[in-house]
């Protein structure tokens, strides 16, 4: 069967070149005489893969030297606890900006470990916008301010020039669904984490960029495996890391670099997103659900306003080789996730299909 255009929100499409390379060396990697899956994580061969992955990620993200890069397990959901247990141990306060389900879950987890406060929310309009946050809204003694940089379900994002101005308070960001998609200045953050399975690799590895001075202050109750210091002290090899997932991330990093790095991805992503939003803005049948200024470049939710028509669209689009356009189970409607690996041709195929559907069902 032909490969489809996969608009899944996560796990998501990977560059076909990456998959082909992985397939070609799955049984026997280079001159190792074995698969990457079979390599001891303490072997020279795997150490090179890990070091390369780290160096490439550092380069692509422009990570300053006073930050550590960690490859951890448990996904973003584990980070919800790790962030709180490791960073909310000075004044035991943290400020959360609620822009969707994932921010809410992170907030709920933090509230179990200290005085977490929701300082802003866009729940009043079903998270269809990013709330304006001014410095006065933040507590001066908060241990950190937390955002979900891109909201996979609702299709909003904090733009690189629209981040909360937190001053000396570390800004923590969940970038699981927009990592490597446009240029963010890492030095503005205390910590950035990203589950790999949307824009960076397979599920099962979460890349954490953490400012070094934030490491080493975990609560006493923190499990050893949830202490950033454990992993920083052991270069992500305290125990066996998810080796094969890290290897696939490395291939994705190489692919991003070959495309021209994050600035080039940003240009392509803006073009892809503009094309789709432009169509939505002009369609008589479909419309986007997010205010224009806060639209995500990665996740584009849209509706017809008619549930039956939505269902028909999802069904027919699937038959046409456009997969996973159904909206999140908590929202309904449709959603096109157009991550880095989605080619322009995929976006064009979607728009063509929508036009045809609109004609046939008007």
Give the other-Cβ count within 10 Å of 306's Cβ.
12
Q: At its nearest, how many Å lie between its own copies and the CB of residue 282?
A: 30
Q: Is residue 12 a contact point for its own copies (CB under 8 A)?
A: yes
Rounded to whole angstroms, the Cα distance separating 282 from 275 reads 11
Residues 183-222 that bind its own copies (CB under 8 A): 195, 197, 201-205, 221
Do the Cβ atoms of 133 and 164 come closer than 8 Å? yes
Q: Which of positions 59-78 make contact with its own copies (CB under 8 A)?
A: 73-78
**Interface mask (CB under 8 A) for its own copies, residues 323-352, using x and -?**
xx----x-----------------------
- The Cα 315–Cα 346 span in angstroms is 17
Q: CB-wise, 284 or 329, nearer to its own copies?
A: 329
Q: Interaction with its own copies in 232-251: which residues (CB under 8 A)?
A: 238-245, 248
Out of 43, 89, 101, 283, name the contact with its own copies by CB under 8 A.
43
From residue 232, give the alpha-carbon distance in Å to each of 70, 73, 144, 177, 217: 7, 14, 20, 24, 13
The residues annotated with a catalytic role in the active site are 102, 174, 198
Token pair of 176, please?
């699981």
Contacting range for its own copies; rule: CB under 8 A; set: 10-18, 120-128, 142-150, 293-301? 10-18
Interaction residues for its own copies, span 256-315 (CB under 8 A): none
Provide the minimum distance between the beta carbon of 244 and its own copies in the complex, in angstroms, as a whole number: 5
Report the nearest approach of its own copies to the CB of residue 39 (Å).
6
Q: Which residues 78-117 are close enough to bind its own copies by CB under 8 A?
A: 78, 80-81, 85, 109, 112-113
Q: What is the 3-state secondary structure (H, E, C) of 186-223?
A: HHHCCEEEEECCCCCCCCCCEEEEEEHHHCCCCCCCCC
Write each residue from 114 to 153 as x if it is in contact with its own copies (CB under 8 A), else as -, in one continuous string: ----------------------------------------
Distance CA 230, CA 222 (A): 11
Nearer to its own copies, 186 or 203 (CB): 203
The answer to whether 96 touches 107, Cβ cutoff 8 Å, is yes
Provide φ and ψ at 149, rounded to 5°: -65, -35
Cα–Cα dist 287/295, whole Å: 13
Stretch that binds its own copies, among 33-41, 89-97, 125-133, 351-359 (CB under 8 A): 33-41
Task: CB nearer to its own copies: give 134 or 224.
Answer: 224
Distance CA 259, CA 255 (A): 6
């Amino acid at each position: 069967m032909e490969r489809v255009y996969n608009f899944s929100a996560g796990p998501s499409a990977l560059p076909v070149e990456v998959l082909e390379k992985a397939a070609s060396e799955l049984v026997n990697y280079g001159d190792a005489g074995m698969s990457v899956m079979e390599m001891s994580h303490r072997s020279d061969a795997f150490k090179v893969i890990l070091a390369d992955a780290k160096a490439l990620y550092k380069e692509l993200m422009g990570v300053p030297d006073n930050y550590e890069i960690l490859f951890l397990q448990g996904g973003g959901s584990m980070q919800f606890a790790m962030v709180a247990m490791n960073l909310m141990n000075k004044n035991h306060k943290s400020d959360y900006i609620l822009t969707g389900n994932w921010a809410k879950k992170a907030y709920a987890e933090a509230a179990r470990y200290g005085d977490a406060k929701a300082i802003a929310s866009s729940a009043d309009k079903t998270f269809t916008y990013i709330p304006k946050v001014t410095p006065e809204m933040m507590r001066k003694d908060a241990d950190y301010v937390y955002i979900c940089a891109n909201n996979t379900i609702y299709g909003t994002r904090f733009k690189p020039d629209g981040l909360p101005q937190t001053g000396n308070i570390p800004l923590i960001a969940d970038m699981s669904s927009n990592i490597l998609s446009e240029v963010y200045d890492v030095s503005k953050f205390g910590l950035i984490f990203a589950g790999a399975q949307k824009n960076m690799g397979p599920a099962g590895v979460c890349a954490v960029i953490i400012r070094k001075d934030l490491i080493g202050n975990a609560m006493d109750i923190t499990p050893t495996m949830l202490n950033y210091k454990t992993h920083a002290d052991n270069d992500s090899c305290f125990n066996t890391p998810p080796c094969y997932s890290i290897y696939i991330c490395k291939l994705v990093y190489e692919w991003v670099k070959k495309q021209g790095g994050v600035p080039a991805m940003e240009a392509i992503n803006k073009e892809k997103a503009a094309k789709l939003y432009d169509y939505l803005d002009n369609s008589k049948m479909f419309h986007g659900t997010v205010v224009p200024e806060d639209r995500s470049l990665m996740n584009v939710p849209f509706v017809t306003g008619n549930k039956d028509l939505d269902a028909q669209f999802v069904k027919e689009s699937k038959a046409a080789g456009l997969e996973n356009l159904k909206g999140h189970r908590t929202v309904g409607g449709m959603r096109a996730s157009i991550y880095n690996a989605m080619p322009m041709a995929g976006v064009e195929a979607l728009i063509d299909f929508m036009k045809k559907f609109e004609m046939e069902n008007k």
